[in-house]
Structure 1
Amino acid sequence: MARYVDVHPKDPQPRAIDQTVALLRDGALIAYPTDSCYALGAAMDSHDAADRIRRIRHLGDRHHFTLVCADFAQIGQYVILDNVAFRAIKAATPGPYTFILPATKDVPRRLAHAHKRTVGVRIVDHPVAAALVRALGEPLLSSTLLLPGHDEPMTDGWQIKEELDHQVDVVLDGGETGTQPTTVVDWSEGYPEVVREGAGDPSRFA
């Protein structure tokens, strides 16, 4: 059964964050709130986390995982940015955007796109998620909690607990979130292409 952790959505209790981070470091797969919707998250060095996420969401090896970063400086460690992308992405973050970019050698091969060697990155604008990433000290491997056959991602912690009780290790309930996933912008070819319209205004990258 998944551990259920109720956390304040705007001022998360440090003890709850620290306990969750300790479990992440032990390889746990968590469900946690973001500024768009709930997501699945794990430490980057968890060797089975990506496979567990793929099984829950019925994903193939072409799926782009997202590295949720604490700040813009951390993004630069994991993806390759030119000056134009740097300025545009910095202006849009933190916020409900995911950017697909070429991965650096610091991204484990199993987490990058199988053929393109690209990965998604974002800086989340949610107190609970931001506290998690800061306490973890490295990006959180993440994927939208959108279940097979569902049109919208999951937005309620207790419902997630009931539905995924035996598939995740921790449900971090920070209250209800928005109902849209992030807007995804593919910048891997040197220019922005909006490949999914979501919570972030796509017009700034049109």
Structure 2
Amino acid sequence: MLIHLHPDNPQPRNIKTVVDCLRSGGVIIYPTDTIYGIGCDIYNQAAIERICRIKNIAAKNANFSFICRDLSHLSDYAKNIGTPTFRLLKKALPGPYTFILEATKEVPKSLKTKKDTVGIRVPDHVICQTIIQELGHPIMSTSLPTDEDVEYFTDPEIIHDIFENQVDMVIDSGIGGMIGSTVIDCTNNEPVLIREGAGEWGDLL
């Protein structure tokens, strides 16, 4: 299913359709403030396994992130966040950054890495924030399997043509970006840049 959502004022009826899909174990492709991602309810193991099959990877190697509405529930999923790290998150988010943090017991085991960490994202994107608000908790997210030219994966109609038999819904809110989020590891005393993407690393220093 291809569903259209206005990027600034998403229609409540269509948001409900997306949330109902997630609650029933659906897999969606949706826009963020960087690139289109593929995601599901963090608590639905069957949906997580579906995404792993789509990407042909094991869950522990998937680099999943939690897409959150804001930092209000951060302590539910991440622990040992010192004051400097929290200030960094407050400065960067919402925005095109992913922060790797120590995971709490609330994070499903299948979504933890070997190092017991979790990636946290708060996109600066109305559709993401609205979906999560209505769902009541984060969604699990990862990048699309891009074996082809990345430009194909900026157009939701082309994305739908490619993945319509593998996912339940593709959200169309217009052309997406081509650059992923900047990834920062905050599990040690000093933040470490893992991947520079759409977020400017220098802006946070």
- What's the TM-score once normalised by structure 1's chain length? 0.92
The offset of 1:56, in angstroms, is: 2.1
Structure 2 counterpart of 1:21 = 19
The offset of 1:144, in angstroms, is: 1.8
Structure 2 counterpart of 1:40 = 38
The structure with more helix, counted as a fraction of residues: 2
1:176 aligns with 2:175: yes
* Counterpart Cα distance in 1 of 2:20 and 2:174: 22
1:50-78 CA-to-partner distances (Å, cap 9, x unmatched) read 22222222334233210011111122211
The offset of 1:205, in angstroms, is: 4.7
Q: Is the 8 A contact 1:184 1:194 kept in 2?
A: yes
Structure 1 counterpart of 2:5 = 7
State the one-letter code of the partner of 2:103: A
Q: Is the 8 A contact 2:34 2:179 kept in 1?
A: yes
* Counterpart Cα distance in 1 of 2:189 and 2:57: 26
Q: Is the 8 A contact 2:152 2:158 kept in 1?
A: no
State the one-letter code of the partner of 1:72: L
Q: Give the fraction of aligned pairs with identical amino acids, expressed as a percent.
A: 38
CA-based RMSD? 1.6
Runs of 4+, deviation exceeding 4 Å = 149-153
Q: Is the 8 A contact 2:69 2:128 kept in 1?
A: no
The offset of 1:167, in angstroms, is: 0.8
Moved more, 24-33 or 61-70: 61-70
State the one-letter code of the partner of 2:46: D
1:84 aligns with 2:84: yes
1:40 counterpart SS class: strand
Q: Is the 8 A contact 1:57 1:148 kept in 2?
A: no
The offset of 1:30, in angstroms, is: 0.1
Structure 2 counterpart of 1:202 = 201
1:142-157 matches, cutoff 5 A: 142-148=141-147, 154-157=153-156
The offset of 1:85, in angstroms, is: 0.5
Q: Is the 8 A contact 2:68 2:137 kept in 1?
A: yes
Point out where structure 2 has 5 or more consecutive residues left out of the alignment.
Answer: none
Structure 2 counterpart of 1:94 = 94
Q: Is the 8 A contact 1:144 1:153 kept in 2?
A: no
Would the alpha carbon gap of residues 102 and 150 (structure 1) be closer, same or farther in structure 2, given more than 3 Å must change?
Answer: farther
2:73 counterpart SS class: helix
1:37 counterpart SS class: coil
The offset of 1:110, in angstroms, is: 0.6
Would the alpha carbon gap of residues 94 and 68 (structure 1) be closer, same or farther in structure 2, given more than 3 Å must change?
Answer: same
- What's the TM-score once normalised by structure 2's chain length? 0.93
Q: For this pair of structures, how many residues does the alignment match?
A: 203
The offset of 1:16, in angstroms, is: 0.4
1:144-169 CA-to-partner distances (Å, cap 9, x unmatched) read 22424555682111111000011111
* Counterpart Cα distance in 2 of 1:166 and 1:83: 46
Moved more, 50-59 or 15-24: 50-59
Moved more, 183-192 or 24-33: 183-192
* Counterpart Cα distance in 2 of 1:127 and 1:156: 18
